[in-house]
């Protein structure tokens, strides 16, 4: 961060303070050249990520929706809410880190399936059956047989 006063490029952070909401941070900086101090304020840049659905329509990414789908699939299974939240956080992070402004619902569904497969196979099959909307027994057996490999 460039010095506000003399333009020197290599200022030092002398103190960092996270705000109460933990989504922003204040940094006290000092310029080693002119000795002046100033404060910077960092916040997340919130870029709305749009989810492109199968029919081509778009809607804002909604982590609650992902979470609800997983909770439903994990009903009465030995998967904790903490584990579900970890997966949702991971998926949200992947989406935000990609810097893409659009993600397909297909990709989100596949990420959820990949994680569920590791957590609980019954939950995985349940989620897959809703997500893939099995129309025949063959595609269902196909998913089941892939589990065994």
Which residue ranges make up the site for Zn ion (CB under 5 A)? 3, 5-6, 8, 31, 33-34
- Going through the chain in order, the beta strands assigned E by DSSP cover 12-18, 24-30, 37-43, 50-52, 58-60, 102-104
- Report the nearest approach of Zn ion to the CB of residue 5 (Å): 5
Pick the closer one to Zn ion by CB: 10 or 86: 10
Q: Which is nearer to Zn ion, 33 or 65 (CB)?
A: 33
Query: In the complex, what is the shortest distance from the CB of residue 31 to Zn ion, in angstroms, rounded to a whole number?
Result: 3
Measured from the CB atom, is 36 or 65 closer to Zn ion?
36
Nearer to Zn ion by C-beta: 14 or 47?
14
138, two tokens: 């063959």
Whole-number minimum distance, CB 28 to Zn ion, in Å? 14
Tokens describing residue 83? 């584990």
Shortest Å, Cβ 16 to Zn ion: 19
CB 84 within 8 A of CB 70: yes
Residue pair 93/100 in contact by the 8 Å Cβ criterion: no
* Contact by Cβ (8 Å): 39, 14: no
């Amino acid at each position: 961060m460039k010095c506000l006063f003399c333009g020197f490029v290599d200022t030092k952070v002398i103190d960092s303070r996270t705000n109460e909401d933990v989504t922003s941070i204040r940094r006290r900086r000092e310029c080693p050249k002119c000795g002046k101090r100033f404060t910077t304020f960092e916040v997340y840049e919130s870029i709305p990520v749009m989810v492109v659905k199968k029919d081509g329509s778009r809607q804002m990414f909604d982590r609650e929706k992902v979470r609800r789908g997983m909770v439903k699939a994990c009903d009465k299974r030995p998967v904790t809410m903490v584990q579900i939240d970890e997966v949702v956080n991971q998926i949200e992070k992947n989406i935000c880190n990609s810097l893409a402004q659009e993600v397909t619902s297909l990709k989100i569904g596949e990420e959820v399936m990949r994680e569920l497969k590791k957590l609980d196979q019954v939950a995985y099959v349940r989620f897959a059956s809703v997500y893939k909307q099995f129309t025949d027994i063959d595609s269902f057996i196909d998913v089941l047989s892939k589990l065994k490999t």
